[in-house]
Chain A
Amino acid sequence: MHDFTIASARAALRAKKVSAQELTEAHLDAIAALNPRLNALITVMPETARAQAAAADAALARGEAHALSGIPLAIKDLFCTGGVRTTAASRILEPFVPPYESTVTANLLRAGAVFLGKANLDEFAMGSSNMTSAFGPVTNPWTRRGDNRALVPGGSSGGSAAAVAARLALGATGTDTGGSIRQPASFCGIVGIKPTYGRCSRWGIVAFASSLDQAGPFARTVEDCAILLGAMAGHDPKDSTSADVPVPDFAAACTRGVKGLRIGVPREYRSDGMAPEIEALWQQGIAWLREQGAEIIDVSLPHTKYALATYYIVAPAEASSNLARYDGVRFGLRKDGEDLDQLYENTRAAGFGAEVRRRIMIGTYVLSAGYYDAYYLRAQKVRALILRDFTEAFRHCDALLTPTAPSAAFGQGEKMDDPVTMYLNDVFTVPANMAGIPGLSVPAGLDAQGLPLGLQVLGKPFDEETVFAVGAAIERAAAFNVLPAIRAGA
């Protein structure tokens, strides 16, 4: 049952070889068995899931199969789900039950999906390790060879990635502001794509940094990601930044192949400190694509080196404003005080964790009078240059290939002393958010300790099809079929 992909489960459901209820029960059983160890889900929704599965079976019986009828998914707990608690992994939203359904999850439900539960994440999606969740860290289903110490799944969508990797769900939603889909996909040995900014509606997703946030799927194959994205995407008049462009058949693009495609390799991503294993994997990926008929081109993205620093100005600035609404007045946590200022201070001190507080302070600082020009305005100018780099590069190539992250998964508790060390995890993923372009991470191999490593494919705006085609080519060549430790013995 747990060998299913979304594509194969869909075929089995339509052929009546398995029922949606059987599929859902199997996944609920897996959650019951493994979630206590992984902490991948904050909230499990067995009743909702069973009802949705029954409805899917009824629809399938009537011959009304939708794109995702009966497919059990995990939903990052940043997506508001009607009547189901939505926490953003923060104490401040611990009691919050939204009376509305986010556009992306509504799209998935309309496509027949079954929601198993709400996946853990870094608090307000701020983190690269899932260590900042108010509901405890997520444990990566993978461990180093001969070493049982718990590893992080990456972040911020670590619960989603861990759930899919551990076979607790066939797919999951994530959001990616600086790498929050791609880096955990890489750490957990699965596929994840951040589509073009504007491809998926942000309506109903708890905002972190509005100009960077973008929803996307996790799955165990490129094709599954394409199927999920097709159901999630689409123009939404309720999100002014959502793009009014047609949603193509992403799954069909997976079989296109890369013959004749020009693949750019940005020289600036080859940092001095790059781990030899990462470098080797990258070269392997280049070789795979060349073998399949792609032309490899050396390209330059000269402003890449400023991307991370710029990101850590823009994202906290927007976050400091977006999180002002958590004030204890209308919803969520409230800690009373003698006056309004005390209510704010008590509520926000009790409700926000250290990393969130840090980013609110950074963001407040860079927007302050006297600092705005030096930080925020300068960052916006650099951001425009980063976009120009990509636009220029894409005049010479169809997609770019880079590593997803500078390392494999690290241990829980590592890299916690200095926030900047943690921030460096996003060095390869952040530029795509700054430019708004699509990026996909696909597992390509294992490091010496047996941990998965991903390669990143970046594409032109609204050309996810080419990204899927390239990702699928790497997937075929890599033939990555290693199970995570938690499942290897099963």
Chain B
Amino acid sequence: MTYTIEGTTGAWEVVIGLEVHAQVISNAKLFSGAATAFGAPPNTQVSFVDAAFPGMLPVINRECVAQAVRTGLGLNAHINLVSRFDRKNYFYADLPAGYQISQYQHPIVGAGSIEIELADGSTKDIGVTRLHLEQDAGKSLHDQHPTKSYIDLNRAGVALMEIVSEPDLRSPEEAGAYLRKLRTIMRYLGTCDGNMEEGSMRADVNVSVRKHGEAFRTRCEVKNVNSIRFVMQAIEAEAKRQVAVWEDGGTVEQETRLYDSARGVTRSMRSKEDAHDYRYFPDPDLLPLVLDEAWVAELGRSLPELPDAKRARFMREYGLPAYDAGVLVAEQTTADFYETVAKGRDAKLAANWVIGDLFAAFNRTGRGIEDSPVSAAALGGLLDLMADGTINGRIAKDVFEAMVETGADAATIVAQRGLRQVTDTGAIDAAVAQVLAANADKLAEYKAGKEKLFGFFVGQVMKAMAGKGNPALVNEALKKQLG
């Protein structure tokens, strides 16, 4: 179903393009040897190059280049063997050189694509226009002093990848799916941690609206949105604003806006007339960036299995439905966890336990896959106890809860609490006989033809056996005694 904004003149289609700034995972900055750790005390990770002292010169960090190439390859994108760095000139207190080194005309990565999955199970290819490398600016702190601003240059010069999408997205849901998928790919590649709270991934959102079948109308850019939820909210708020403007007989002006998440509206930041003239020109301190084709090929060979390939393999190898496979590959750690559990076991059952009980335990305990209360090996041990008939599925749920609480493994809990499944047919027969004797009225009804009471008897027997009866044997014994 197509997402639209309903206006007084009918339905409006929303057109969205995203520019994502992704901080490159690397030990050092893009053009200096300074470190890049998040949360260090202000101005402790700054070299003279980052602070743009006189005579300082940038030298490209090869690892950042490799990370950009890996990301490009992960987006099935064209790698440009020759790219160039340009200066983007503007004055700001946290931009020490008065220019940002970026790639304007000749980016390192060209066109690629990202396949997104939507809630209805459908998929859609979203075009990636380009990816380029650039420096981050420092941070201005305006709340530290009544009349002055403070500057922290720790972030100045850190490598960013700007990843620009085509205007292929048509709903907040698609935008959210795109961002999640991009983040997943970069996390798989180890090129960006995708942590939007710490600012290592930020999005600028280009939004326009149009009537079905029209050419694009004027877009507005909502800058620096710092969560996927806010991106989705900002799109809706901005699209509704534009619909109202058009329907009031006005014209949407191209401008840069900010999303006010507290009020759920976008606000104008600067109009086209106030737009900076960045005076881009090739940075004369840097030679063109020339990549060796064999080096790029080597990076390609060393890429990990990416989410789309992994999902296909999970469906093929483990017989999982697309949805389950998609959930499991969303994070590489989850996929690895699952594969450890599934290895040599009932893969479908393993998927149900990971997606169902384990994820529920995460929600309850506030923990996640990295600090899971039950390790993959321990969950596998639980599945083994079910497979070999030591416990039944009903008891397994209790054992699992005990594992979450205590951290002990399944076998220990089963032994300590005497949860071993009863397979002794004598004991089962006795329990059956006792239940039938205690429920003479129900037995009569059953014999009179109310066969659905069979389930009632199963439940009563299991209850009498504290849940430990082997379900198959209980069924068998009941059938025999009921005649």
Contact = CB atoms under 8 A, between A and B. Distances in A.
Interface of A: 79-80, 86, 88, 93, 96, 98-100, 102, 202-207, 209-211, 237-241, 317-318, 320-321, 324-325, 327, 329-331, 340, 344, 364, 367-369, 372, 376
Given A100-B48, A209-B284, A369-B277, 17 more contacts: A102-B55, A240-B57, A240-B59, A240-B285, A320-B89, A321-B87, A321-B99, A321-B279, A324-B89, A324-B91, A325-B96, A325-B98, A340-B92, A340-B93, A367-B279, A369-B279, A372-B279
Nearest to A99: B48
22 contacts: A100-B48, A100-B55, A102-B55, A202-B55, A203-B55, A203-B57, A207-B285, A239-B59, A240-B58, A240-B286, A317-B281, A320-B89, A321-B98, A329-B96, A330-B53, A331-B54, A340-B93, A367-B280, A368-B277, A369-B277, A372-B281, A376-B281
Nearest to A380: B282
A182 to B, nearest CB: 21
Given A96-B54, A206-B55, A367-B279, A324 B285 contact: no
Interface in B44-62: 48, 51-60
Contacts of A327: 91, 93, 98
Nearest to A317: B281
B151 interface: yes
A220 B120 CA distance: 83
Nearest to A210: B284
The 3 closest A-B pairs by CB, nearest first: A324-B98, A367-B279, A211-B284
Interface of B: 48, 51-60, 87, 89, 91-93, 96-99, 149, 151, 277, 279-281, 284-287
B53 A321 contact: no
A240 B287 contact: yes
A30 B109 CA distance: 60
Main SS of chain A's interface residues?
A: loop
Contacts of A204: 55-56
Contacts of B91: 324, 327, 344
B140 to A, nearest CB: 9
A329 B151 contact: yes
A226 B108 CA distance: 41
A80 B55 contact: yes
- Which one of B58, B87, B279 has the greatest number of beta carbons of chain A within 10 Å? B279
B59 A237 contact: yes
Contacts of A344: 91
Main SS of chain B's interface residues?
A: loop
A98 B54 contact: yes
Nearest to B49: A238
A235 to B, nearest CB: 13
Contacts of B53: 98, 100, 325, 330-331
B288 to A, nearest CB: 10
Contacts, number: 100
Contacts of B281: 317-318, 321, 367, 372, 376
Nearest to A93: B54
Contacts of B56: 203-204
B279 A210 contact: no
A88 B93 contact: no
Contacts of B279: 320-321, 364, 367-369, 372
Nearest to A202: B57
A325 B52 contact: yes
Contacts of A330: 51-53, 96
Nearest to B33: A238
A203 B89 CA distance: 21
A99 B92 CA distance: 24
Nearest to B58: A240
Contacts of A100: 48, 53, 55
A102 B54 CA distance: 10
A206 B151 CA distance: 24
A423 B280 CA distance: 26
A330 B93 CA distance: 9
B54 A238 contact: no
A344 B59 CA distance: 28
A317 B60 CA distance: 23
A325 B52 CA distance: 7
Contacts of A93: 54
- Which one of A88, A209, A240, A331 has the greatest number of beta carbons of chain B within 10 Å? A240
Contacts of B96: 325, 329-330
A241 B55 contact: no
Nearest to B275: A369
Contacts of A331: 51, 53-54
A210 B285 contact: yes
B189 to A, nearest CB: 27
A159 to B, nearest CB: 18
Nearest to A328: B93
A205 B286 contact: no
Given A321-B87, A321-B98, A321-B281, A207 B287 contact: no
B149 to A, nearest CB: 8
B285 A241 contact: yes
Nearest to B95: A324
A7 B131 CA distance: 56
Given A240-B60, A240-B287, A368-B277, A207 B55 contact: yes
Nearest to B94: A329
Contacts of A240: 57-60, 285-287
Contacts of B99: 321, 324
A324 B97 contact: yes
Contacts of B149: 340
Nearest to A213: B284
B54 A367 contact: no
Contacts of A80: 54-55
B59 A238 contact: yes
- Which one of A96, A206, A318 has the greatest number of beta carbons of chain B within 10 Å? A318
A198 to B, nearest CB: 10
B55 A98 contact: yes
Contact of A86 (B54, B97, B277): B54
A206 B56 CA distance: 8
Contacts of B59: 237-240
A205 B60 CA distance: 19
Contact of B54 (A88, A239, A317, A369): A88
A321 B57 contact: no
B55 A205 contact: yes
B284 A318 contact: yes
Nearest to B97: A325
Contacts of B97: 324-325
Nearest to B48: A100
Contacts of B287: 240-241
A339 B72 CA distance: 42
A427 B97 CA distance: 31
Nearest to A242: B57
A80 B91 CA distance: 24
A326 B284 CA distance: 18
Nearest to A201: B57
Contacts of B87: 321
Contacts of A364: 279
B397 to A, nearest CB: 62
A239 B52 contact: no
Contacts of B57: 202-203, 238-240
A86 B54 CA distance: 9
B98 A367 contact: no
A376 B284 CA distance: 13
- Which one of B52, B58, B99 has the greatest number of beta carbons of chain A within 10 Å? B52
B89 A321 contact: yes
A319 B398 CA distance: 73
Contacts of B48: 99-100
- Which one of B92, B281, B285, B286 has the greatest number of beta carbons of chain A within 10 Å? B281
- Which one of A237, A327, A329, A331 has the greatest number of beta carbons of chain B within 10 Å? A329
B106 to A, nearest CB: 14
A472 to B, nearest CB: 32
Contacts of A88: 54
A329 B55 contact: no
Contacts of A369: 277, 279
